[in-house]
Amino acid sequence: MTTPRRPVNALRTIYRGRIFRVEREHVTLPHGVALTMDVIRHRGSVVLLPQPEAGQIVLIRQYRHVIRRSIWELPAGTLEPGEQPARAARRECEEETGWRPRRVVRLGEYYATPGYCDERMIFYACLGLARPSRPARGDDDEHILPQVFTLRQAWALVRRGEVVDMKTVLGLAIISGRVPAAARP
């Protein structure tokens, strides 16, 4: 059952950045309570499950300043304005792993933090990986090391605390058959 959208009585953008904006909204919740909420508006992202072979997954090692450490994670990226998610999945796979997928398969979509952010993360299996003729140029703020793992090795990274982000744990669960692919909300 879906809950109807409640009216936003007033809205003010308090920050606008390259990837997201923060809005201050005066809202009335479904149970009648009126309050002010700060909401992060994000144009969405893709999360990639690159599989060189069945039972394998490409993870990337990347420094994440917010948590002050390097972690292993699934490649992912923000949608460009107006970009179709499948196109973004192909682009990000090549940029972050060095492989071009011949096929991308949508596995589902989830909201990571719907209490304060509307970022919709769309999961894609990236299959039939091939090396492009020229390496893709990554983003300037990224220093990424891709590596192929078996699914068993990837789950061992989770157990050891080397994978700590939710999108990666969820993606591994989907690809391992522990979570069914989700329908589009």
Among 80, 127, 124, which residue's Cα sits nearest to residue 99? 127
Rounded CA separation 43/63 (Å): 23
Spell out the per-residue pLDDT of the chain, length 185, in tens.
Answer: 455 565 677 689 999 999 999 999 999 999 999 999 999 999 999 999 999 999 999 999 999 999 999 999 999 999 999 999 999 999 999 999 999 999 999 999 999 899 999 999 999 999 999 986 665 555 566 689 999 999 999 999 999 999 999 999 999 999 998 887 665 54
Q: Which sequence spans correspond to the domains of the chain? A: 8-42, 45-175
Domain 45-175 has CATH 2.60.120.10: no
Rounded CA separation 111/167 (Å): 10
Identify the pLDDT of residue 181.
65
Helices (H), 72-185: 85-97, 151-159, 166-175
Identify the pLDDT of residue 131.
82
Identify the pLDDT of residue 1.
47
Q: What DSSP state is assigned to residue 117?
A: B
Indicate the pTM of the whole model.
0.88
In sequence order, what DSSP letters do the residues of 149-180 get, joined into one string?
Answer: EEHHHHHHHHHTTS---HHHHHHHHHHTTSSP
Rounded CA separation 23/14 (Å): 6
